[in-house]
Structures are given as C-alpha cells and as structure tokens.
Amino acid sequence: MNNERIQSVEERARTHAALADPVRLRMLDLLTLGDLSPTELREAIGVPSNLLAHHLNVLERVGIITRGRSEGDGRRTYVGLVPGALTGLGSSAVAVADRVVFLCSANSARSQLARALWNTVSPVPAQSAGTHPADRVAPGAIAAAIRHGLDLAGAVPQPVDDVDLEGAFIVTVCDRAHEEYPEGSVHWSVPDPVRIGTDEAFDSAFEDIHRRVDQLAQRVVAVA
C-alpha cells in the first residue's frame, strides 16, 4: 500500500472523527445549504460563543470549512464548506418551497446567473431580484452565460419589493444583500465579479454558483 493511499485513509478518518459530534453535524446540515456568519450559526444551534469557536476550529483544521471576510460589512466573516470536502458523506437538510428567489444587491450578475442555472436543473421555478437593482444586467454576466451555454437575453434587474416572497425559498448570493435582507433562507458568499470585471472573475463566480445550485437543488423540493 503506497503513502498516498495511507494518507487518504488517514484524512477520511480525521473527517469522520471531526463530525462525530451532534453540534458539528447540525452545523454541517446548515452549511450544506449556504454560508453563515459565526453569529448566525450560534443563534441557529444555540451554543455559547466559546463552544462554537471550538467546533469551528475543529472543522477548519480538517479542511471541512473555510472562513472569508464579508464584502459588505468588513467586520463580518462567513463560514462555508470547502468544495468537495464532504463528498459521499451526505446530509439530511431538506427545504420545501413553491419557488426559489435569488437575491443580490444589483441583480445584475450573480443572482441572474443563479436563476438561469437553477431553472436548468430543478422543477422548482426560480426568480431573481435586487435590493438596489442596476439599470441593466452586467455585460460580463451575459458573456459568461453565453460561454457556458446559458442565455440571459431579456433579463432585466428588478427590485425585491416587486417580487412576491410568500412561500419562497430565498437565497442571497452577495454579502451586502444578506446583511440588508437577513431574513433570507440561506446565504451564499459569492465574490462580486462586476467589481473585478474580468472574464476570469465572471467564470469563477459562475462555477461557484453552479456548484452551489447543483448541491441545493437536491435539497429543495416543491410544495405538494
């Protein structure tokens, strides 16, 4: 047996050991849906700050979670799952909704891409909106959609106040929107590609959103 295989087994053992705690498994269920600040995690799970910090450190040491600074309120951090860290481990988190609404600040890139991607993989319909909608969809988002076989033609940013949110599963896809609209169902801390403006930034956002959409679509089911 070679060293690479031994290391793989050891890594898997550490992952299972890190998850052998009810609080950390509950954290896992929440984070499979979206990113959360430490305060949001603490309030959702009901543990004191020092105990939450311990659990976060355990999960971070084995490479299950990552922490990043908010693009909105720089005093905040968001906790997210490392892509692929839990492949094959599964999760019990499920949500029921009659539609999904993707929300960001300008409704010009991330939320538009998320809506288009969602509608290709889920029978639950999706919409998008913005807390401060731009005049138009970002050209970089339109170009990224075309590169990846999607069409944003005809998409127009709209304010969240014009969208009926009753019975919807709300996904905020930018930190600013989440901090302005914390009553959303889950949050995805996706970096803003418009701020950078390069094809690489839009493709990176697209890939991040695509991964998250594929993961969440398995856990959101239509109202019976």
pLDDT tens string 157-184: 999 999 998 889 999 999 999 999 887 7
Instruction: Give CA angle at 216 (159, 34), nearest 5°.
Output: 70
Q: Would the pTM of this model clear 0.85, i.e. be above it?
A: no
Could you check whether 3-81 and 95-222 share the same CATH topology? no
* The CATH number of domain 95-222 is 1.20.1730.10: no
User: Would you list the domain boundaries of the chain?
Assistant: 3-81, 95-222
Give the containing element (helix H, strand E) for 4. Answer: helix 3-18
**Kind of pairing between the strands at 65-69 and 77-81:** antiparallel
Domain 3-81: top CATH class: mainly alpha
pLDDT digits (tens, 9 = 90+) for 98-148: 999 999 999 999 999 999 999 999 999 999 999 999 999 999 999 999 999
